[in-house]
Chains A and B, each alone.
Chain A
């Protein structure tokens, strides 16, 4: 096992702009974010010897475009949490000596679709045969499919599910880079346009252009960089199924449970140690599943936990402090932005800074509950 804190994040940045960026193609968004992260760390392309980005075929595109000659690459592509897996894999690779300085990039023209990766479901795949004929059209129709079962099992109300979006907007209001910053109420959420019952527009993520990048190296080298190192204390990953209809339990994600437990185990931390939490919120139910499946609250109690403002500004467990996929940004694969907010909170540079963040947990989802990654970041090296 990698000792907690052996690897650190020394460079972290988003694209210069965020939201609507029609003047950059997808590869251009990767490059903009990567150059910003290299500037943050005081590095040049020649200093990078490891590269991770979401495949297929992306690593060679990005390496060529940026002028990198990596001796370690990772093209893991399991959806929006892929970057959390990249962090875990990169930490292992650096620890093993396969490379010393890893760049992880994300760029996605999710809104403008300038030279964007195609989104296709093969008609002969299992999802193509056993889900697509019944009328799903992307994540808004698939991700919320388990929600009614979750609501019935635990007696969760529409108002409680609306509250998730309300509280994240409160965080977004404190963040100048958030796409939507105007306050909203539970009534506003429940009166917004119906997309796929039980979810309305304000319970669905944004669709934006943007990117982000991280640079990792060994903690022993981290002190030589201009930034405050953010130490990787632990991590976890898992996958379950590419078909939401086939997830084992509609009230809980197995991939969340496996990744979360592994992250806490490898970091050697308890829930009470966590000062700040990011849970990938493509849709309003995900923070509820995340809070329960990571063990922050017992099963069925997350909706009340959020309703009682525990995750809100001033609450005892600040969650999704950038405004999240619901209000900050969501390019399609949001996990990089969740990671970057965790890094900012640990560095002490977040727009809505939580006081004295020593440990931040970042939890991501890929596909429709299909994959998961969890990363534990710390301010001090244990």
Chain B
């Protein structure tokens, strides 16, 4: 799968580099506190729950559920309207914004809480975006 040109391109920072390295390598990397064990997102080098700097990076399962979304009907560079801007809840707990692929962009097809799985789609040589599609077991 390739993406048409025009999308806003994320600029990784030292604190988020592991995440973008991960998506390019086919891993959805989250962080968790080694003290309170709570996974969190977006990336930062400390635990937002307890403030501890003792945190670790781990690979998430890539499984998620559709938490909420809008279907945008106006043109945006890199997108063909109508397209959904979604928020998914990862199996590990954190939520992230994404797009839902391999699925009609309609309210009928996009059902809240439907199971999803991550798919890694290159934006360019350096950046790969984590998008989500309906989970395969559910599609059967």
Residues of A within 8 A of B127 (CB): 133
- Contacting pair B8 A128 (CB below 8 A): yes
- Contacting pair A245 B70 (CB below 8 A): no
Interface string of B76-99 (1 = CB under 8 A from A): 101100110111000000011111
Q: List the B residue with the shortest CB-CB distance to A193.
A: B73
**Among B9, B42, B73, contact of A246 (Cβ-Cβ < 8 Å):** B42
- Contacting pair A131 B97 (CB below 8 A): yes
Q: How far is the CB of A205 from chain B (nearest CB, A)?
A: 15
**Among A122, A128, A136, A197, contact of B73 (Cβ-Cβ < 8 Å):** A197
Q: A145-B85, A148-B69, A246-B42 are in contact. Are A135 and B99 (CB under 8 A)?
A: yes
In the bound complex, CA of A147 to CA of B95 (Å): 16
Q: Which of A123, A147, A149 has the most CB of B within 10 A?
A: A149
Instruction: Verify if A39 is at the interface (C-beta below 8 Å from B).
Output: no
Instruction: Verify if A198 is at the interface (C-beta below 8 Å from B).
Output: yes
- Contacting pair A129 B10 (CB below 8 A): yes
Instruction: Verify if B72 is at the interface (C-beta below 8 Å from A).
Output: yes
Instruction: Verify if A196 is at the interface (C-beta below 8 Å from B).
Output: yes
**Among B13, B42, B69, B74, contact of A124 (Cβ-Cβ < 8 Å):** B13
Residues of A within 8 A of B97 (CB): 130-131, 134, 136, 145, 243, 245
Q: How far is the CB of B61 from chain A (nearest CB, A)?
A: 19
- Contacting pair A137 B74 (CB below 8 A): yes
Q: A133-B123, A133-B129, A135-B7 are in contact. Are A148 and B13 (CB under 8 A)?
A: no
Interface residues in B31-82 (C-beta closer than 8 Å to A): 41-42, 67-74, 76, 78-79, 82
- Interface residues on chain A, size class: 35 or more
Q: How far is the CB of A156 from chain B (nearest CB, A)?
A: 13
Q: How far is the CB of A370 from chain B (nearest CB, A)?
A: 15
Q: How many residues of B contact A (CB 8 A)?
A: 37
Q: List the A residue with the shortest CB-CB distance to B73.
A: A194
**Among A144, A149, A195, contact of B112 (Cβ-Cβ < 8 Å):** A149
- Contacting pair A135 B68 (CB below 8 A): no
- Contacting pair A198 B70 (CB below 8 A): yes
- Contacting pair B11 A146 (CB below 8 A): no
**Among B11, B85, B107, contact of A128 (Cβ-Cβ < 8 Å):** B11
Q: List the B residue with the shortest CB-CB distance to A241.
A: B42
- Contacting pair A129 B42 (CB below 8 A): yes
Nearest first, the 5 closest Cβ-Cβ pairs linking A and B are: A129-B10, A132-B8, A197-B71, A124-B11, A149-B68
A contacts, CB < 8 Å to B: 121-124, 126, 128-137, 140-142, 144-149, 152, 193-199, 243, 245-246, 250
Apart from A197-B107, A198-B107, A246-B42, 9 more pairs, CB < 8 Å: A124-B10, A130-B96, A132-B8, A142-B85, A145-B68, A145-B70, A245-B87, A246-B95, A250-B67
Some 30 contacts from A to B, beta carbons below 8 A apart, are A121-B8, A122-B11, A126-B42, A128-B8, A129-B42, A130-B41, A130-B96, A130-B97, A133-B7, A133-B10, A134-B85, A135-B7, A135-B99, A136-B72, A136-B85, A136-B97, A137-B72, A140-B74, A141-B72, A141-B85, A149-B112, A194-B82, A196-B71, A196-B72, A196-B85, A197-B71, A198-B107, A243-B97, A245-B97, A250-B87
